Chain A
Amino acid sequence: MDKPSAMPVDFRHPLQRTPFHERARALSQVDSFVPWSGYSTVDVFTTVEQEYFAVRNAATLYDLTPMVKYRIVGREAVPYLNRLITRDVTKLKVNRVAYCVWCNDAGHLVDDGTLFRSGESEYLLCTAERQIDWLLSSADGFEVEVAEITEQVAALALQGPTSCSVLKALGLAGIENLKPFEIGRFTFAGAPLSVSRTGFTGDLGYELWITPDSALTLWDALMTAGRSWGIRPIGSQALNMVRIEAGFILPNVDFVSAEHTIRTGRDRSPLEMGLGWLVDFDKGHFTGRRALLEEQRRGVARMLVGLDIAGNKPARDSLLYAAPTAKREIGSVTSAMWSPTCKRNIALAMVEAPHFKTGTRLWVDIYLNRELVWERRMCQALVVDRPFFAPERRRATPAADY
């Protein structure tokens, strides 16, 4: 069989194939592929329900190679990153990972990502969107090198309660002692394998980083090792369900990058996204600091919150009201689903001040298409804290066997 790289990327075949594509193609039952960052990736392998329940009850493989990866090295990598992102990078130790966001001058989100400290002055920044222009112009005046290495790394997310057991069966000694947001270094089939206890599911899980030429061997070994642990590959749809339960935000769904918005007022600040805990005003200057201080002083105009909604109909794209008969909208839902695990009708919503305080009662306008007849339901909703789902096993160290 042809290697994935043998497939030309040209105007007839504009999407690249990840190093795992061959296996994904073979296991796909419904031929549901979607483009992601220039790669062809799986949306659903079998059914979304089957894949969702596998994340919450067994182990799953998700190909995150298209995640954009930047290698940041140099004597001034720390001051560079400290000016770029809003968290204090000096607190991030070697072989640790931090979730982070970065802003433009106006204090509005450019993107979010995860920052891996792989060495004393070597970092890996993983982002949803391509950011090279912002990262390079931020490097002006700093002794630092920034390079995109997306294609040099094959990445797999192994997530679910049995994921630690799978890695033990794979032979990664001591993996159960890896702490959340820690990176472990292993050798797999003669190749260096990095494993971080990170993920986008809010569950026990790991992300595995290896060179592309070892990708298929790793996939096969994981599928073999995980057979008795219920392992199965999942696509983006199932991942989107579990990330809502975990309360994680997605660019272009829950916010639009300030570098991409066209209309005024559509940018979002980390304070508005409920990510104020990521902003460290005491660490010194960073891009957007002065604007964020000013926003904090004034008070935020809106906030992304969790909603617990009456009934079981997902409130997709719904508008929010302060009263069932109110004319003026006070916000809208960005992500919504019926959560099978929580048995709750949940949503992430952007809500205007002062309606975003936890415990506030709002009304959600839900439209239902019942065999092509539209019905409207005005449902009550309660502003609740995120995440909706946070099992103890996600943090427990050593990770338990299931």
Chain B
Amino acid sequence: MRGERISLELTGSDATAYALAASPGFAKDGLCFAATSGGLYRSTDGGDCWESLPIVEEQGAQMAATAVAVSPSFDQDRTVFAAVKGGILRSSDGGDTWFAAKFPAPPPLFTTLAISPYFAQDGLMLAGTMEDGVFSSTDRGVNWQPWNFGLFDLGVLCLAASPHLREDETILAGTETGLYRSTNGGRAWRESGFPSEFAPILSLAYAIGKDESLLFAGTEGKGLFISCDDGASWDRSAPNSLPGSVNQLQILYKPDGRAEIYALSEDGVLRSRDAGQNWEFLAEAEDPPTAFLVPDPSGEAMFLGLAGKGIVQYEL
């Protein structure tokens, strides 16, 4: 792998990068964020330098940020969200100032954030939690409500909003014991056709193809599953390349509309250019990988979070 270097060094044995997010205009503005056990970090130069953002202090140190998400219309609204224990913080100026939203006690532990692809129009955002199910906001993250009708498992590990959310209002939630599907923008949930014996579901992603949409679900220890019928039925994908856990998924659309799928396994990051049929290793990790991000559709660079180490930047 070319150009491997430590981009952000985190100290401490439990130092972990939980999530990474980049501005949609990363190629121009070089803006990206990292939610870590040491708080929230921001880089404005494509990951060369990172600054710790003073969001919430706990016992004299920055409180851990467990998730981060950037608005798809960041160019216009400069909106970023970060989850910390008990709350979600919102910035409307690219991370300079932050506002906290209120949540009911006991404080929820957020695991994931999902933003509507039509965020500029609908202001819809969802947050998954360890024990409180899904919270939803329809006013750009100012007010949040729990919406857990039909969600029997409140341990939500991942969320994915349909690329056609405006038409189908579909959102998926992966939990410890199965996959749930909402067809009304996250207000009510029904079990989907995913075989529950393969749960927990750690990662979800939609990929829009020319003729069909594909849905990917990464499990804990049981590989990657693909559905071609919007989650009604599932098939195991590439059991040899991805035999174990698939902790994170990312879909990247090339300028010609082709989708590339990136998956984070226990061993590193893999890429598929043929709808999940074949996979190639991009980065094999010596330390346990915790999160990754390919910030730019050109796919030339990648950030990889490694447990106890920090964030490593690769040139692909």
- The finding on whether chains A and B are genuine partners in a shared complex, rather than unrelated, reads no
Please report B residues at the A interface, Cβ cutoff 8 Å: none
Please report A residues at the B interface, Cβ cutoff 8 Å: none
